[in-house]
Amino acid sequence: MMVSALIERELSAETFPIRDGVFVAVVGPSGAGKDTVIGYARARFADETRLEFVRRVITRPSDAASEDHDTLADAAFVEAEADGAFAISWEAHGLRYGIPADVDWSVANGRVAVANVSRAIIPVLRERYANLAIVEITASPEVLAERLAMRGRESRGEVLARLARSANVTLSGPDVTSIDNSGAREAAGERFAEVLRKAMAFSDMPGLI
């Protein structure tokens, strides 16, 4: 892909990790409401040019019940991945996910990129971006179970297995902020908005993170 190749050439002179801007990695178990919190912030900062809410590429059709994303078939995704179309990619729950390569350009040029990612790729993100803010969206087990059941995508056994896997994964470090989204969307949304304000402040003064 020509765009990704151009980005790669422009960054070739850069020494990884990419710096100046901030990559905000939003993580958390299914049902925690990551897309809801991100959507709240997107509306809250609709006129903020320093923020980029990353549109993921997923091997799953887009529908009204899921996030707004770009869709590729498996074979097309693998080809795009080989062409360098993604800054980061991973597999989870039988699907492939990709973060477009142009996010590297955005961060290198001082912007704050916000993306919903897997906790499994946090070590890779920590190596790739000098300024990384990890936001873990959580909710109580009861709330998670209720939300997952309402989706109707999985059986009760699959829901319980997913919750068990989530309970076994923990994140720690000074770059991690945990936000409980068990209650009102506005409460979690405002906490997330504060994280983004701080990230924008840091991106205005490179080297502080």
Residue 30 among known ligand-binding residues: yes
Q: DSSP labels for the chain?
A: -HHHHHHHHHHTTSPSSB-SSEEEEEE--TTS-HHHHHHHHHHHTTT-TTEEE---EESS---TTS---EE--HHHHHHHHHTT-EEEEEEETTEEEEEETHHHHHHHTT-EEEEE--GGGHHHHHHHBSSEEEEEEE--HHHHHHHHHHHTSS-HHHHHHHHHHHHT----STTEEEEE-SS-HHHHHHHHHHHHHHHHHHHHSTT--
Rounding to the nearest 10 degrees, give the CA dihedral for residues 122, 27, 186, 139. Answer: -130
Residue 31 among known ligand-binding residues: yes
Residue 204 among known ligand-binding residues: no
Residue 173 among known ligand-binding residues: no
The token pair at 176 is 């991690």
Residue 34 among known ligand-binding residues: yes
Q: How far is CA 172 from the centre of its chain?
A: 17
Residue 141 among known ligand-binding residues: no
Cα gap 160→145, rounded to integer Å? 8
Residue 189 among known ligand-binding residues: no
Binding residue ranges: 28-35
Binding residue ranges for ATP: 28-35
